[in-house]
């Protein structure tokens, strides 16, 4: 290992969170834990009494949990996708954000499918999906792809963290056993470097189709169904685009916050946010294109059932949410991102927050209005989430953020060895 | 028969402890028994499937003529009566004050002893007439038994009515045809139904017969699809399935019928043969004193042309002519009515007018027409000694109500005043006056004047809550009882209820047995009038007459075989109906259908003689407008309303749904959950308002409104229903209980609370539809 | 008589005879141990009506129209619900009935959302009956727990029983011998049930009537519940 002392000294800013534990950290962890554990209670309540404690009913049998599921899996996309694509294209500026992106991916991917567990009528028999699998069902495709993606992402994150873990092994004698275990005996030899290079290239290439497939099959859980405005051929690409969109927004937000909290100004510079902002802008346009195509097609040639849902969204009961979504997903971010002057760290952060809210609303609006207006109008209904569902959403988000924070306490949030490599190249 | 049960989840207690493991199969014992349903007056035969001695399902008896093996939703929901968790499980005696629901359990011996003692004392004091029995719609032999008891005991105060709520129809039939029953519809050959608000598909009687009849009318005969025209202010389920709905101004159906008659008579489309041979009073006629009386023909031709009638009823002239054309040309055709026509202040005359339509087309007692109900030859040996020295309390048969047989609604004031004499003991059987009578508050105040109230109800309903002693009856699955089914077939039949359980579910007893027990305890001639051991024996005695007639569906060598077959088949019927026996069936002085009602004339003349008042004065006191010959002919009396038009702009139409079950369905969750299908309401009450009227009042669908009449006001949910006449509002029956059980209590409103007592004095009944209301936002 | 070829169970509902009385709804609930939802749940729309009576009111006074349609499970020949179940808890059996394996269901509810007729129901809470009602439960029908999806299955317990009886006598089930609870109780005889593979059965003949139609035929689900249109008086 090269002079770990020197490197640690050079990157002390990145490593400082691992050794310090200030009041802000304790307070935020405390609050988040409370919310997180509250959701355990809510889930226990729901498990004991039944799913009737949520606001779902007939015909809206899928609601918040599915929305959160799609949303979190959406966020999980950009991380590895951005990281993988940027690696393959050798975009140098990517280095400070890859680790954070990969972490966001992994944790979002862990958070997403747990929503399904919450949503099941008999959660404890969840494993039957594996034992009694019927592969005709899109949910099985979901299950398979998400498992594959999860494994791939974890591997991706882990493999590319090994050199840093080795560094930590040297620097943190008290946790040495932990890092020693994880570092797999890395010592920076050439042979190891080559294996690492090959593995990371392989994973980079592998993760892209898996990532695309994941959100495509998630979209097909809806797209393959007969419900009006779900049975649409555009769902696959639409969801993938939306996923990348929300994912990049998540990364920007996480990076901006990390930069502020851990004082990483030296590493996360405006140029990064500018570039990420450009990516976000591209996705915004792509999102707008897909959405516009989807709605125009429905309006122009739509059948009675589809139009009922359409009008419910555009002018009816759900129109306030719909137009809010358009506001947050496009009208606010687009000008901010399009003009170079506003494409600053603050600007892109605001745009990201807006995008995240907007994309959550978009998931909501894909699922709920359609279920409210089934093909046979006698079964029309409405939906109002209950405290259980809000608690689960809050708890899950809190858990996600908590996991992120705890990660930064054990591993460097910026890839040190890659930054070092980049430095050497220059 | 051995069957299989999966998972053992539905077994009774004994086997529940030996729960099989998932996937294990265990045998169970199953058998079928028969009974007669009691959810509505129809009396359909039911087969009860029992598993391990617990009834689990009800089906119809396949060859039972009334329901042909089918059941309506109330019938199917019957097990929720048997298994009702709020049933009274043993005799109760009141502790504390009335209405506090503070009861103590007593034994049957003690309870019966209390009653017997009191009745004995009353009799010894020479006050047997201070006993009053309020009975509901008696089933079968119970009416005989109760009448026998009251007569032997010596009290004239027996109010039990098989048709409460539809007396107008019965009185109309009485005056024109001399019969005291409803008429049966011969669906099998019918082609055209002119329905004046008859609720064929919702709450008719007999329910199953009419539902089946509707299906048969439409698709039972290849190539023939009968027509139904529904005339009523409300767009009911029947109106929606009818071929034509004619909205009409409430209370004017009699005029419409006469308008139709006008066209038929003018165009000479009536059945001349029937009119000439079997009717009286069609043409002008001379009586024995040489006086000329106006005939029906001239009255109608003079006063009820379609144009005159059209403005009165709100029905366009061309529709009246169209209906008249169709009615007289599509034979066989019948004209029938419902509660809405009969229960007005002019109900009797309206019914007479509709009956005239049937006479005009000659559809009485003919195939495809209206038939007279024959009754089985139930044995009635010598009635017990009468002991009536005192007149009835309710004033039935008196000056103002000469033709009434019973008048429960006059009781509150009379009991309060104690005039003409106070009531000491009150028996309540199969009745809940604090729920079903109008102005129930007044009745409750009256109850406080009665020292001893005994209820035989199986449920803690509103009136039973106010009683002193409860001797709970069982449900219809737990007792022996017969049921003379509602007029619907014409030919005679009756059903038999046999217990489906080895012994009653709780410590309850058949009221028939209890009455016999009480009678025996009183001794004297009362005891002698009840020589049977229990009600089952009394039933057997009574059915001996049917056995002796050697007719009908059960042919047996001896009575025991007859009785056992009767239990197996669930009933007896003699399915041969002799059509065309008019001279035998019209029970009038002239022996014919009377357009000019001699029964009414004689009755009124007798009242005039007894009271030494002139006929005209009597008519004035009975608030009738007509004078002279018109009084005895079907004519249009203007309906009287309670509440002026300006202050109370809406007519209150209260209707029964298929799920109402005579007001007893409120504690059956299956019925509550499907309560109002046409308006998608469950577990609740509502008031239907015309959408435009509602808009003018600023009321939106689902808003809460107050409905106020002169009797009181109630708050409920408003629903906008386009099938509502702009001057009417509709409230369904069945909800608004203040007791009765956990699902019934405190739910919705009871329209009876809004009704003010106005009367059709001639017919002698409360006109339920006279109350007007106002509606405003809450 | 060919005792080997399969039955293909179907139902015909004559809307001209249906009076909207809901006897079918209650009979079904009593037969199949369907718990009532109670006021709060019913108003949230969670009441389970395997046979549901649907009403529609149209028009303005006095030109008002009201229609009633009983809607059971359509038992489609191409059911959209069976292919989306991840644990194969619902399947189409060889006799055409879309049957369910209740213990297998884990409550994913994709079948509910993929049914275009919305005739599947979920147990949002543990179905409860008052203690006294439990004696009246039908032992032939599985008592579902919370978290399980359920729907009409043409009273398959009755069909099985009829098949046992017929097998004992070495014959096929006769037309009209087996009837689900709804068909057996309909007061106006508006429901018919039988074998669509038997050209002489009543449902076979009626399903070919000029008045016959099915719901959402354009979806290609091939439902086996046929409706007969209401008639007009002038048609005779």
Instruction: Please state the three-class secondary structure of B589-616 as a single string.
Output: CCCCEECCCHHHHHHHHHHHHHHCCCHH
For residues A106 and A98, give the distance between their C-alpha atoms in angstroms, rounded to a whole number. Answer: 12
Q: What pLDDT, on the 0 to 100 scale, is given for residue A2?
A: 57
Q: Is B705 helix (H, G, I), strand (E, B) or coil?
A: strand
Contact between B674 and C22 using a beta-carbon 8 Å cutoff: yes
- In chain A, the residue whose alpha carbon lies closest to the alpha carbon of C90 is A134
Number of neighbours of residue B241 by Cβ within 10 angstroms = 25
How far is the alpha carbon of C121 from chain A, nearest alpha carbon, in Å? 7
* C-alpha neighbours within 13 Å on the C-beta side of residue C90: 31
Radius of gyration of chain A (CA): 22
- In chain A, the residue whose alpha carbon lies closest to the alpha carbon of C49 is A58
How far is the alpha carbon of A268 from chain C, nearest alpha carbon, in Å? 43
Residues 134 through 193 of chain C touching chain B, CB cutoff 8 Å = 134-143, 161, 181, 184-190
Contact between C38 and B669 using a beta-carbon 8 Å cutoff: yes
Tally A–C CB contacts below 8 A.
133
Instruction: For residue range B1-20, list pLDDT tens digits in order.
Output: 223 333 334 445 555 444 44
Whether B722 and chain C come into contact, CB under 8 Å, resolves to: yes
Token pair of B625 as six digits: 């407008």
Q: Is B436 helix (H, G, I), strand (E, B) or coil?
A: helix
Contact call for residues B741 and B86 (beta carbons, < 8 A) = yes
Q: What pLDDT, on the 0 to 100 scale, is given for residue B163?
A: 67
Q: List the one residue out of B342, B6, B334, B4 whose CA is nearest residue B165.
A: B342
Q: What pLDDT, on the 0 to 100 scale, is given for residue B9?
A: 42
Number of neighbours of residue A134 by Cβ within 10 angstroms = 18
Contact between B77 and C130 using a beta-carbon 8 Å cutoff: no
Q: Is B248 helix (H, G, I), strand (E, B) or coil?
A: coil
List chain A residues with CB under 8 Å of C122. Answer: 51, 58, 61, 121
Whether B76 and chain C come into contact, CB under 8 Å, resolves to: yes
Residue B648's φ and ψ, nearest 5 degrees, are: -120, 85
Whether C94 and chain B come into contact, CB under 8 Å, resolves to: no
For residues B138 and B124, give the distance between their C-alpha atoms in angstroms, rounded to a whole number. Answer: 29
Whether B319 and chain C come into contact, CB under 8 Å, resolves to: no
Residue A92 or residue C46, greater confidence: C46
Is the alpha carbon torsion for B4, B7, B10, B13 positive or negative? positive
Contact between C37 and B673 using a beta-carbon 8 Å cutoff: yes
Q: Is the pLDDT of residue B384 over 70?
A: no
Whether C130 and chain B come into contact, CB under 8 Å, resolves to: yes
Q: Which residues of chain A have pLDDT under 50?
A: 1
Average pLDDT over residues B519-530: 85
List chain C residues with CB under 8 Å of B194. Answer: none
How far is the alpha carbon of C184 from chain B, nearest alpha carbon, in Å? 7
Burial annotation B248-287 (CB, 10 A radius, 16+ → b, else e):
bbbbbbbbbbbbbbbbbbeeebbbeebbeebbbbbeeeee
List chain C residues with CB under 8 Å of A140. Answer: 86
Instruction: For residue range B267-312, list pLDDT tens digits in order.
Output: 999 999 999 999 999 999 998 889 999 999 999 999 999 999 999 9
Contact between B70 and C189 using a beta-carbon 8 Å cutoff: yes
Predicted TM-score (pTM) of the model is: 0.92
Number of neighbours of residue B53 by Cβ within 10 angstroms = 14
For residues B275 and B267, give the distance between their C-alpha atoms in angstroms, rounded to a whole number. Answer: 15
Instruction: For residue range B43-96, list pLDDT tens digits in order.
Output: 899 999 998 889 999 999 999 999 999 999 999 999 999 999 999 999 999 998
Q: What pLDDT, on the 0 to 100 scale, is given for residue B388?
A: 62
Residues in chain C: 236
- pLDDT band, very low/low/confident/very high, at B21 (cuts 50, 70, 90): low
List chain C residues with CB under 8 Å of B70. Answer: 23, 184-187, 189
For residues C89 and C105, give the distance between their C-alpha atoms in angstroms, rounded to a whole number. Answer: 5
Q: Is C182 helix (H, G, I), strand (E, B) or coil?
A: helix
For residues B4 and C89, give the distance between their C-alpha atoms in angstroms, rounded to a whole number. Answer: 22
DSSP class of residue C102 equals G
For tokens 């046409």, what's the residue? B678
Reported ipTM: the value is 0.94
Which of C135, C140, C164, C230 best probes binding to B when mutated, by most B CB atoms within 10 angstroms?
A: C135
- Touching subunits of B (3+ CB pairs, under 8 Å) are C
For residues B54 and C134, give the distance between their C-alpha atoms in angstroms, rounded to a whole number. Answer: 10
Q: What pLDDT, on the 0 to 100 scale, is given for residue B380?
A: 57
Q: List the one residue out of A420, A426, A404 whose CA is nearest residue A167.
A: A420
Q: What pLDDT, on the 0 to 100 scale, is given for residue B514?
A: 95
Helix axes A95-119, A235-261, angle to 10 degrees: 120
Respond yes or no on whether the N-terminal peptide bond of residue B332 is cis (omega within 30° of 0). yes
Contact between B219 and C68 using a beta-carbon 8 Å cutoff: no
- pLDDT band, very low/low/confident/very high, at B162 (cuts 50, 70, 90): low
Contact between C84 and A138 using a beta-carbon 8 Å cutoff: yes
Whether C212 and chain B come into contact, CB under 8 Å, resolves to: no
Number of neighbours of residue A207 by Cβ within 10 angstroms = 26
Whether A50 and chain C come into contact, CB under 8 Å, resolves to: yes
Which of C92, C108, C149, C150 best probes binding to A when mutated, by most A CB atoms within 10 angstroms?
A: C108
Residues 227 through 266 of chain B touching chain C, CB cutoff 8 Å = 227, 235, 237, 240-241, 243, 245, 247
Instruction: For residue range B683-694, list pLDDT tens digits in order.
Output: 999 999 999 999
Strands B452-455 and B425-429: parallel
Instruction: For residue range C62-86, list pLDDT tens digits in order.
Output: 899 999 999 999 999 999 999 999 9
Contact between A58 and C122 using a beta-carbon 8 Å cutoff: yes
For residues C197 and B674, give the distance between their C-alpha atoms in angstroms, rounded to a whole number. Answer: 35
Q: What pLDDT, on the 0 to 100 scale, is given for residue B13?
A: 54
How far is the alpha carbon of B284 from chain C, nearest alpha carbon, in Å? 39
For residues A322 and C189, give the distance between their C-alpha atoms in angstroms, rounded to a whole number. Answer: 49
Instruction: For residue range B460-491, list pLDDT tens digits in order.
Output: 999 999 999 999 999 999 999 998 877 888 88
Tell me whether residue B119 is exposed, middle or buried, using C-beta atoms within 10 angstroms of its C-beta: 0 to 12, 13 to 18, 19 or more.
Answer: buried
High-pLDDT (> 70) share of chain B, %? 95
Q: What pLDDT, on the 0 to 100 scale, is given for residue B17?
A: 44
For tokens 């500026």, what's the residue? A93
Contact between C124 and A56 using a beta-carbon 8 Å cutoff: yes
Q: Is the pLDDT of residue C29 over 80?
A: yes
Contact between C113 and A62 using a beta-carbon 8 Å cutoff: yes
Strands B571-573 and B650-655: unpaired
Distances (CA, A) of A396 to A32, A39, A105, B135, B386: 10, 8, 15, 65, 84
How far is the alpha carbon of C200 from chain A, nearest alpha carbon, in Å? 32
Q: Is the pLDDT of residue C61 over 70?
A: yes
State the SS3 of B663-684: HCHHHCHHHHCCCEHHHCECCC
- Touching subunits of C (3+ CB pairs, under 8 Å) are A, B
- Beta bridge partners, B650, equal B773
Token pair of B189 as six digits: 């050959």
For residues B511 and B538, give the distance between their C-alpha atoms in angstroms, rounded to a whole number. Answer: 13
Contact between C83 and A225 using a beta-carbon 8 Å cutoff: no
Contact between A121 and C106 using a beta-carbon 8 Å cutoff: yes
């Amino acid at each position: 290992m090269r002079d770990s002392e020197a490197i640690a000294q050079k990157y002390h800013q990145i490593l400082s969170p691992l050794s310090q534990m200030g009041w802000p950290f304790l307070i935020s962890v405390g609050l988040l834990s409370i919310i997180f554990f509250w959701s355990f209670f809510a889930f226990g309540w729901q498990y004991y009494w039944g799913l009737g404690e949520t606001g779902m009913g007939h015909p809206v049998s899928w609601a918040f949990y599915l929305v959160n599921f799609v949303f979190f899996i959406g966020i999980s996309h950009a991380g590895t996708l951005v990281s993988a694509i940027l690696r393959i294209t050798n975009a140098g500026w990517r280095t400070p954000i890859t680790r954070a992106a990969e972490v966001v991916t992994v944790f979002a991917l862990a958070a997403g499918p747990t929503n399904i567990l919450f949503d099941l009528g008999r959660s404890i028999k969840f494993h039957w999906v594996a034992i009694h699998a019927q592969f005709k069902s899109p949910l099985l495709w979901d299950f398979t792809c998400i498992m594959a993606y999860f494994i791939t992402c974890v591997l991706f994150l882990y493999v590319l963290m090994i050199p840093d873990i080795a560094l930590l092994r040297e620097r943190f004698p008290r946790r040495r056993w932990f890092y020693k275990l994880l570092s797999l005996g890395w010592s920076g030899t050439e042979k190891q470097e080559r294996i690492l290079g090959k593995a990371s290239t392989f994973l980079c290439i592998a993760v892209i189709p898996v990532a695309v497939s994941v959100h495509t099959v998630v979209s097909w859980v809806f797209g393959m169904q007969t419900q009006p405005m779900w049975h649409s051929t555009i769902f696959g690409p639409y969801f993938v685009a939306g996923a990348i969109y929300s994912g990049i927004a998540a990364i920007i937000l996480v990076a901006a916050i990390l930069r502020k909290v851990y004082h990483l100004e030296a590493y996360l510079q405006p140029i990064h946010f500018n570039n990420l902002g450009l990516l976000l802008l591209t996705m915004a346009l792509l999102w707008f294109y897909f959405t516009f195509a989807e709605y125009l097609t429905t309006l122009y040639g739509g059948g009675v059932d589809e139009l009922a849902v359409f009008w419910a969204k555009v002018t009816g009961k759900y129109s306030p949410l719909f137009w809010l979504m358009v506001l947050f997903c496009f009208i606010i971010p687009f000008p901010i991102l399009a003009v170079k002057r506003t494409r600053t760290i603050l600007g892109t952060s605001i745009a990201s927050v807006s995008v995240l809210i907007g994309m959550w609303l978009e998931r909501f609006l894909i699922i709920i209005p359609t279920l409210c207006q089934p093909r046979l109008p006698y079964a029309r209904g409405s939906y109002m989430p209950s405290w259980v569902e809000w608690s689960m959403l809050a708890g899950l988000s809190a858990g996600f953020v908590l996991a992120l924070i705890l990660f930064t306490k054990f591993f460097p949030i910026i890839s040190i060895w890659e930054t070092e490599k980049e430095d050497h190249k220059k | 028969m051995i069957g299989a049960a999966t998972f053992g989840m539905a077994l009774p207690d004994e086997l529940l402890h030996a729960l099989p493991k998932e996937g294990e199969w265990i045998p169970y014992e199953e058998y079928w028994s028969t009974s007669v349903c009691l959810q509505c007056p129809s009396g359909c035969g039911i087969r009860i499937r029992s598993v391990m001695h617990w009834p689990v399902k009800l089906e119809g008896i396949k060859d039972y003529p009334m329901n042909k093996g089918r059941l309506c939703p109330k019938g199917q929901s019957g097990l929720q009566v048997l298994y009702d968790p709020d049933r009274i499980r043993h005799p109760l005696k009141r502790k504390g004050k009335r209405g506090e629901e503070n009861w103590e359990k007593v034994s049957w011996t003690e309870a019966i002893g209390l009653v017997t003692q009191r009745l004995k004392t009353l009799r010894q004091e020479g006050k047997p007439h201070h006993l009053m029995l309020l009975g509901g719609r008696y089933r079968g032999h119970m009416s005989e038994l109760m009448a026998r008891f009251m007569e032997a005991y010596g009290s004239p105060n027996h109010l039990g009515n098989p048709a409460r709520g539809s007396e107008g129809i019965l009185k109309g039939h009485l005056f024109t045809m001399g019969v005291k029953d409803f008429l049966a519809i011969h669906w099998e050959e019918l082609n055209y139904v002119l329905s004046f608000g008859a609720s064929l598909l919702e709450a008719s009687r007999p329910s199953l017969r009419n539902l089946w009849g509707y299906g048969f009318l439409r698709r039972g005969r290849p190539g023939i699809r009968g027509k139904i025209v529904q005339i009523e202010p409300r767009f009911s389920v029947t109106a929606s399935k009818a071929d034509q709905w004619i909205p009409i101004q409430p209370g004017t159906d009699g005029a419409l019928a006469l308008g139709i008659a006008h066209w038929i008579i003018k165009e000479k489309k009536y059945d001349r043969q029937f009119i000439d041979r079997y009717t009286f009073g069609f043409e002008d006629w001379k009586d024995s004193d040489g006086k000329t009386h106006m005939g029906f023909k001239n009255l109608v031709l003079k006063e009820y042309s379609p144009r005159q009638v059209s403005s009165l009823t709100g029905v366009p002239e061309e529709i009246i002519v169209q209906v008249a054309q169709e009615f007289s040309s599509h034979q066989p055709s019948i004209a029938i009515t419902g509660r809405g026509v009969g229960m007005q202040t002019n109900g009797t005359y309206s019914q007479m007018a509709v009956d005239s339509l049937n006479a005009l087309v000659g559809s009485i007692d003919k195939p495809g027409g209206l038939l007279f109900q024959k009754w089985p030859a139930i044995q009635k040996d010598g009635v017990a000694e009468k002991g009536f020295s005192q007149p009835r309390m309710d004033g039935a048969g008196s000056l103002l109500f000469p033709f009434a047989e019973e008048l429960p609604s006059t009781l509150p004031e009379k009991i309060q005043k104690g005039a003409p004499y106070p009531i000491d003991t009150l028996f309540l059987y199969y009745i809940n006056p604090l729920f079903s009578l109008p102005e129930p508050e007044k009745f409750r105040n009256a109850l406080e004047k009665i020292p001893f109230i005994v209820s035989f109800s199986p449920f803690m309903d509103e009136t039973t809550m106010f009683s002193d002693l409860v001797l709970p009856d069982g449900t219809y699955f737990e007792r022996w009882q017969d049921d003379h089914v509602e007029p619907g077939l014409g030919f005679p039949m009756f059903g038999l209820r046999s217990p489906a359980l080895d012994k009653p579910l709780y410590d309850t007893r058949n009221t028939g047995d209890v009455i016999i027990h009480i009678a025996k305890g009183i001794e004297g001639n009362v005891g002698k009038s009840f020589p049977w051991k229990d009600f089952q024996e009394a039933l057997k005695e009574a059915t001996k007459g049917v056995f002796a007639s050697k007719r009908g569906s059960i042919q047996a060598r001896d009575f025991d075989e007859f009785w056992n077959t009767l239990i197996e088949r669930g009933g007896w019927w003699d399915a041969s109906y002799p059509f065309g026996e008019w001279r035998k069936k019209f029970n009038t002085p002239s022996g014919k259908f009377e357009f000019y009602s001699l029964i009414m004339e004689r009755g009124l003349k007798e009242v005039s003689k007894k009271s030494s008042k002139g006929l005209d004065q009597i008519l004035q006191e009975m608030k009738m407008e007509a004078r002279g010959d018109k009084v005895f002919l079907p004519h249009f009396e203007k309906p009287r309303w309670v509440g002026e038009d300006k202050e109370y702009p809406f007519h209150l139409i209260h209707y029964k749904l298929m799920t109402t079950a005579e007001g007893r369905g409120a504690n059956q969750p299956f019925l509550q959950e499907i309560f109002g299908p046409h308006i998608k309401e469950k577990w609740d009450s509502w008031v239907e308002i015309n959408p435009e009227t509602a808009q003018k009042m600023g009321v939106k669908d689902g808003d809460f409104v107050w409905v106020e009449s002169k009797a009181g006001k109630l708050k409920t949910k408003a629903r906008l229903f386009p099938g509502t006449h702009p001057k009417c509002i509709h409230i369904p029956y069945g909800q608004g209980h203040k007791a009765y059980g956990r699902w019934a209590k405190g739910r919705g409103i009871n329209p009876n609370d809004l009704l003010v007592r106005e009367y059709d004095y001639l017919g002698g009944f409360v006109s339920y539809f006279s109350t007007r209301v106002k509606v405003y936002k809450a | 008589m060919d005792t080997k070829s399969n039955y293909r169970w179907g139902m015909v509902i004559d809307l001209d005879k249906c009076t909207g009385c809901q006897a079918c709804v209650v009979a079904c609930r009593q037969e199949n141990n369907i718990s009532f939802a109670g006021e709060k749940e019913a108003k949230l729309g969670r009441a389970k009506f395997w046979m549901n009576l649907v009403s529609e009111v149209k028009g303005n006074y006095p030109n008002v129209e009201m229609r009633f349609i009983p809607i059971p499970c359509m038992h489609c020949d191409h059911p959209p619900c069976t292919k989306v179940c991840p644990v194969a808890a619902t399947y189409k059996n060889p006799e055409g009935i879309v049957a369910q394996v209740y213990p297998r269901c884990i409550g994913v509810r994709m079948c509910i959302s993929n049914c275009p007729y919305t005739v599947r129901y979920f147990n949002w809470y543990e179905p409860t009956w008052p203690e006294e009602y439990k004696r009246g439960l039908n032992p032939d029908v599985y008592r579902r727990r919370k978290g399980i999806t359920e729907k009409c299955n043409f009273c398959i317990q009755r069909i099985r029983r009829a098949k046992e009886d017929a097998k004992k006598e070495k014959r096929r089930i006769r037309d009209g011998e087996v009837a689900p609870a709804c068909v057996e109780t309909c007061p106006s005889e508006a429901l018919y049930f039988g074998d669509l593979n038997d050209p002489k059965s009543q449902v076979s003949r009626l399903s070919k009537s000029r008045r016959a139609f099915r719901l959402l035929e354009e979806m290609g689900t091939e439902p086996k519940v046929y409706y007969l249109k209401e008639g007009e008086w002038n048609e005779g």
